[in-house]
Structure 1
Amino acid sequence: MGLFGLLFGWPLAPVHAVVRLGELIQEQVERELRDPAAVRRRLEAIEEARRAGEISEEEEARAVEEVLRLMTTGPRRG
């Protein structure tokens, strides 16, 4: 890269740092979505909400489906 690249690349360093930070956050979120203990906690919370009458059977089914979809495919990009 040399001196020329360093001089003209330096102003973009904060942009590169923010992009890398976003990538690291995304990787961490994806790891947590697939963590078996976290998935189990989310499924248990959904089941408890259903037992407490906070959500309907349909809402429970949709929530379980969403947890499983997130575990297998990751978050939606949008």
Structure 2
Amino acid sequence: MGLLTGILGLPLAPVRGVLALGELIRKRVDEELHDPASVRRELEAVERARAAGEISVEEEAEAQQRVLGRLTGAPSGRPVRRTHDRKR
């Protein structure tokens, strides 16, 4: 039965290979997006851009929120709330 299943499943081998490759790429992207070193590099790049006058203070704050939101898992459309920002 294993030989028959192998022969009949042979046409699907490229599909399985593409799916496995896609899964490997997804895992690598997730690791890169949530890697603290990567986040730090991006935050430093934002700081350098602000210091060079390439972006405004508001754009810097938005970029920082996006990067930190990625690290904390917050949705990208919503800002990350800090403890001192909460309304009581």
Query: What is the TM-score normalised by the length of structure 2?
Result: 0.74
Amino acid at match of 2:18: V
Inter-partner Cα distance in structure 1 for 2:57 and 2:7 = 61
Q: Which has the higher contact order (CA 8 A, sep 6+)?
A: 1
Provide the secondary structure at the position in 2 that maps to 1:21.
helix
Aligned residue pairs, count: 75
Q: Flag as ranges the 4+ runs of structure 1 deviating above 6 A.
A: none
Secondary structure class of the residue paired with 1:3:
helix
Q: What secondary structure sits across from 1:53 in the alignment?
A: coil
Which structure: larger Rg? 2
Deviation string, structure 1 residues 46-73 (Cα, Å, up to 9, x no partner): 0110111111112111111111122233
Task: State the match for 1:48 in structure 2.
Answer: 48
Q: TM-score, normalised by structure 1?
A: 0.83
Q: Output the aligned Cα RMSD.
A: 1.9
Gaps of 5+ in 1: none
- 5+ long unaligned stretches in structure 2: 77-88
Q: Which amino acid aligns with 1:46?
A: V
